Structure formats: C-alpha cells, structure tokens
Amino acid sequence: MLVWLHGFTQTRDSSHVFLSILAGTHDVVTIDLPGHGRNASTSASLPETADLLADVLPVAPFVLGGYSFGGRVALHLALAHPERLSGLVLLSATAGLREEDERSARRARDEALADHLEEVGTDVFLSEWLAQPMFATLPDDPRERAARSVDASGLANSLRHSGTGTQRWLGEDVAGLAMPTLVLAGATDEKFVLEGRRLADAIPRSSLVVVDGVGHAAHVEAPDAVATLVREFYPQ
C-alpha cells in the first residue's frame, strides 16, 4: 500500500494523473491534511498531524509518500512511528531550518502571509501562490486548480500551525531512519534540489533522484516519470 500526502493548498484529490497511474498497480490511499479540503476546520502542528495520521492509517507497514508540506508531515510520521513504514518517498521536502533566528523570521513571514490570505480570499491567494517561480513550469490543468483547497481560514491556520518556521530542525534526527527512502526533486527547483541532497546525505538507506525539466511539483509536471520512479522504488 502507498499512502500519499499532498502539498500546501492541495487536497487528497490533487495530482490526479500521477495518482491514477500509481493506482493501476498499487493500493493508493490519500487523505486531506489539517487545514485542507474536508479537514479544513482542523488545526494541528506537524507532530500533532503525525499522531492524527497514525490513528487513521493502516496498522500494517506501508510506503508513505509526501510532497512539500506533505513531505514534511511524512518526515514527522516516519520519526514518530517508524515501525509503521516499509518505505518513504519525499518529494520537494526539507528537514527544516537549522537556526532559530531563521525559523523565527519564517514564522513571521508565514503569519503575514496568513493574514494576507484571509484578507484577499483564496481565489486571489491561489493565483498569487501559483505565480511563484517554483511553479513556473506547472501545466495549466483546470482539474488540478479545482482540486485546490478553498477555505481561507483553514489554509491560514495551516501556515500558522505547521508552516516551515514552526518545524524543529530534523537534520540530525533523520539519520536514525532505517526504512528505504527515495528523495525526489525537480531539476529547475534549485532550492529543493539542495534540500533533497541534504536529506539523502543524512538518511542512511536513501537515494536522491533529480527529475529533469521540472520544478517544485514534479509529480504534476511529469506524472509518468515520477510515477515510474516510485514504482521502481516500490514495485509491488
């Protein structure tokens, strides 16, 4: 079984092409993370989210994959409940910010972004969010846009409770992960190629694959290529 965790502003219905490809050969489970989709009214920190997921996901070991925000959640679940996982896939993920002053500055930026989101609403915010350079090569897919979470309060609370600035530095902790791990990043997303390399260097049984010609959302931009990598990592 493969459990896939979506990114910030996405929902369990996002990445539909990528997930449909994997569903041809795997049992695929998706879930709305706190602040998103059907769980928009739930607010939780990253450790709290990991515990919430542990309560609802299968007991038998499964492969856990996560993209960006979902990748950060996946790391917390892997660290808190390693016995539950037979493998880990991290796409555009990060171990966090090492220094407290960096985390503090990021929390302040995310608080300001949350205030802005609530002020302008989700339509304007999503247009602004997707206009960032790391999404420059994202295809124009109306179904993907329709799958975005539209609850402004939920998304704002996600930033406040589980944004990158709230995350403790995991750089040393991940060295204790024993499960096989696939780290993925899009080649044009230079920041997260570096973050991915740091994760792969720290996690013992891991490998980094950089996907050519795509940015932050590699699984949306090149769903066949990324699904193939996941299948090769977890062939069942």
**Token output for 147:** 């799958």
In eight-state DSSP terms, residue 4 is: E
Alpha-carbon span 90 to 70, nearest angstrom: 8
* Beta-strand pair 85-91/28-31: unpaired
The sign of the CA dihedral 29, 30, 33, 39 is negative
pTM across the whole model: 0.97
Give the separation between CA 164 and CA 161, rounded to whole angstroms.
Answer: 9
Distances (CA, A) of 9 to 129, 146, 187: 9, 11, 22
Number of domains composing the chain: 1
Q: Identify the pLDDT of residue 235.
A: 63
Please report, as a single letter, which amino acid is at residue 187.
A
Q: Give the pair of three-digit tokens for residue 134.
A: 């790391």
CATH classification of the domain holding 66? 3.40.50.1820
Q: Which of 143, 140, 134, 130 is nearest to 13 (CA)?
A: 143
Q: How many residues does the chain have?
A: 236
Instruction: Kindly report the backbone phi and psi dihedral angles of residue 89, in degrees, each rounded to the nearest multiple of 5, phi listed first.
Output: -120, 125
SS3 16: helix
pLDDT computed for residue 145 by the predictor: 94
Q: What is the rounded distance in angstroms from the CA atom of residue 158 to the CA atom of residue 140?
A: 25
Q: Is the CB of residue 213 less than 8 Å from the CB of residue 114? A: no
**DSSP labels, 149-216:** ---HHHHHHHHHHHSGGGSPP-TTGGGG--S-EEEEEETT-HHHHHHHHHHHHHSTTEEEEEETT--S
Boundaries of domain holding 70? 2-233
CA distance 76 to 102: 20
pLDDT value at position 95?
Answer: 97
Kindly give the confidence (pLDDT) of every residue in the chain, 236 residues in length, as a single tens digit, with 9 standing for 90 and above. Answer: 999 999 999 999 999 999 999 999 889 999 999 999 999 999 999 999 999 999 999 888 999 999 999 999 999 999 999 999 999 999 999 999 999 999 999 999 999 999 999 999 999 999 999 999 999 999 999 999 999 999 999 999 999 999 999 999 999 999 999 999 999 999 999 999 999 999 999 999 999 999 999 999 999 999 999 999 999 998 65
pLDDT at 58 (0 to 100): 87
